[in-house]
Amino acid sequence: MHKVVITGVGIISVLGNTVDAVSSSLYNGQSGIIVDDQRVELGFNCPLTGVIKDFDPKARLTRKQKKTMTDHAIQAHAATMDALEMSGLQPEDWQNDQTGLIFGCDSSSIAAIEQVRLLKERGDTGLIGSGAVFRSMTSNVTMNLNTLLKTRGAAWSISSACSSGGHAVGQAFTLIAAGQQDRVICGGAQEINWESMCSFDGLGAFASNTDAPTKACRPFDKNRNGLVPSGGAAAIVLERYDHAKARGAQILGEVCGYGFSSDGELLSNPSTTGLSMAGAKALKRAEIIPKDIDYVCAHATSTPAGDIAEAVNLKTLFEGCSPAISSTKSMTGHELWMSGASQVVYSTIMARDGFIAPNINLETLTPEAEGLHITPFTIERAPHSVLCNSAGFGGTNSCLVLRY
């Protein structure tokens, strides 16, 4: 099996549009959550959302290129180009069949709505336009990136609800470790628009304390009352270690374990056993034991049931000891399909810049998490061995072990 390393990361996030801006937000515990006035007018239970500021979609793509791309695909392209620039790879390095693209994405709502509206308005399918069919697919990110970058290897998207991004990084790791790809650009992308969130809002799973938006998302806090939807795009360049070393690349970290499982229980409520099963598999693959982990980038989304389930799973996995734990969703909100991949980017940024980001808004620890070292404060040391948890509707779990 080949060793797999991280040589580039890029992100368009509610915490910033560059790695340095995101690092500053993570270090300072700054929230990217606002009240969306349109959701107030539309009668949402929760008008809160993460928001991406000052991102210019015209900066790197032509109108013709954007015609087939969703907003989140355009953000994924920006994140990917930043990650590739950081990696030092050149087009001649990736335009071959040993380079792949795998992203996590599980919806594309706007195009589906728009094409129906245009058909009803214009009365002719030929007048819908050429881009809608491509924009309406969940594989929109990878099909467009494949065309733009001209990679020739793997090119597909993984749809597994809120663990999509985690499984995308995990599968990229698996393909490189097995020798099937030399490098894979992987990540996750999530649309931010009210249209994609209205029915989710109706389930009552979103935060209800909307008076102070930046305090609404409070994973592991006793007074948490729901998640805050968010999104953007995260990209990671994974390479076979020997190739990266041979070209003198900067090695940012290593992906050394990936474990997955499914709960086989309920659609929306996670089990108390599935995530720890995936975690144990990831640790085994990384050939380490639980006490070797010194930071957990938790899935915790701030829902009453989900955070309890993760706390129980973490206690099972770590058997009485506890590494430092924080949920970056306390600042970003829940980046859904993107989150499993953004956690890898956030953890890599922390390792690069020498800190562990806080779990903000943790004032009173939920009783079920007692004994776990969930940090409400920034820790002034770099993480060395990290577990990234992600879990999705239907009970699909992804755990990644990263080493820095």
Partner 1 sequence: MTDPEVIQHVNDLLAEEFELTFDQMRPEALFKEDLELDSLDAVDMVIILEQAFKFKIKKNEAFKRIRSLNDLHKFVLEKKKEL
Considering the candidates 167, 186, 334, 388, report the single residue annotated as catalytic: 334
Query: Which residue, 92 or 124, is less far from partner 1 as judged by CB?
Result: 124
CB 257 within 8 A of CB 282: yes
Q: Nearest approach, Cβ of 202 to partner 1 (angstroms)? A: 35
Does the active-site annotation cover 2?
A: no
Q: Nearest approach, Cβ of 132 to partner 1 (angstroms)? A: 10
User: What's the angle, vertex CA 171, arms to CA 110 and CA 286, rounded to 5?
Assistant: 135
Task: Write phi, then psi, for 161 (nearest 5 degrees).
Answer: 50, -135
46 vs 39: CA distance, rounded Å: 8
Q: Is 290 left (phi over 0), alpha (psi -120 to 50) or beta?
A: alpha
360 vs 215: CA distance, rounded Å: 8
Q: Nearest approach, Cβ of 58 to partner 1 (angstroms)? A: 11
- Distance of alpha carbon 124 from the chain centroid: 38
Does the active-site annotation cover 399?
A: no
Query: Which residue, 147 or 159, is less far from partner 1 as judged by CB?
Result: 147
Structure tokens, 295: 């930071």
Query: Which residue, 62 or 199, is less far from partner 1 as judged by CB?
Result: 62
- Residues ≥6 apart with Cβ < 8 Å to 150: 91, 94, 95
Residue carrying structure tokens 């309890």: 308
199 forms part of the interface with partner 1 (CB under 8 A): no
Q: Which of these segments, 126-134, 162-170, 233-241, 323-331, binds partner 1 (CB under 8 A)?
A: 126-134
Does the active-site annotation cover 167?
A: no
Q: Nearest approach, Cβ of 14 to partner 1 (angstroms)? A: 30
Q: Nearest approach, Cβ of 60 to partner 1 (angstroms)? A: 14
Q: What SS3 class is residue 315?
A: helix
Q: Is the four-CA dihedral 222, 402, 157, 32 of positive or negative sign?
A: positive
Q: Which of these segments, 80-88, 127-135, 320-328, 369-377, binds partner 1 (CB under 8 A)?
A: 127-135
Query: Which residue, 77 or 183, is less far from partner 1 as judged by CB?
Result: 77
Strands 232-240, 183-190: pairing kind: antiparallel
According to CB under 8 A, which one of 127, 251, 266, 321 is a site residue for partner 1?
A: 127
Q: How many CA atoms lie within 13 A of 323 on its CB side?
A: 24
Q: Could you write out the DSSP letters of every residue in 43-75?
A: T-S--EEE---S--TTSS--HHHHTT--HHHHH
Considering the candidates 256, 299, 388, 399, report the single residue annotated as catalytic: 299
Considering the candidates 162, 217, 388, 399, report the single residue annotated as catalytic: 162
Residue 161's nearest CA partner among 340, 402, 2, 318 is 340
Query: Which residue, 127 or 289, is less far from partner 1 as judged by CB?
Result: 127
Residue 127 class from Cβ within 10 Å (0-12 exposed, 13-18 middle, 19+ buried)?
exposed
Q: Nearest approach, Cβ of 165 to partner 1 (angstroms)? A: 29
Query: Which residue, 131 or 371, is less far from partner 1 as judged by CB?
Result: 131
Residues 95-124 that bind partner 1 (CB under 8 A): 124
According to CB under 8 A, which one of 130, 208, 223, 250 is a site residue for partner 1?
A: 130
Q: What SS3 class is residue 329?
A: helix
Q: Nearest approach, Cβ of 250 to partner 1 (angstroms)? A: 36
Query: Which residue, 28 or 125, is less far from partner 1 as judged by CB?
Result: 125
Residues 259-318 that bind partner 1 (CB under 8 A): none
According to CB under 8 A, which one of 57, 88, 129, 376 is a site residue for partner 1?
A: 129
Which amino acid is residue 82, in one-letter code?
D
Q: How many residues touch partner 1 (CB under 8 A)?
A: 11
94 vs 113: CA distance, rounded Å: 35
Residues 50-79 that bind partner 1 (CB under 8 A): 62-64, 67-68
Query: Which residue, 98 or 108, is less far from partner 1 as judged by CB?
Result: 108
Q: Nearest approach, Cβ of 129 to partner 1 (angstroms)? A: 6
Residues that bind partner 1 (CB under 8 A): 62-64, 67-68, 124, 126-127, 129-131
Q: Which residues are catalytic?
A: 162, 299, 334
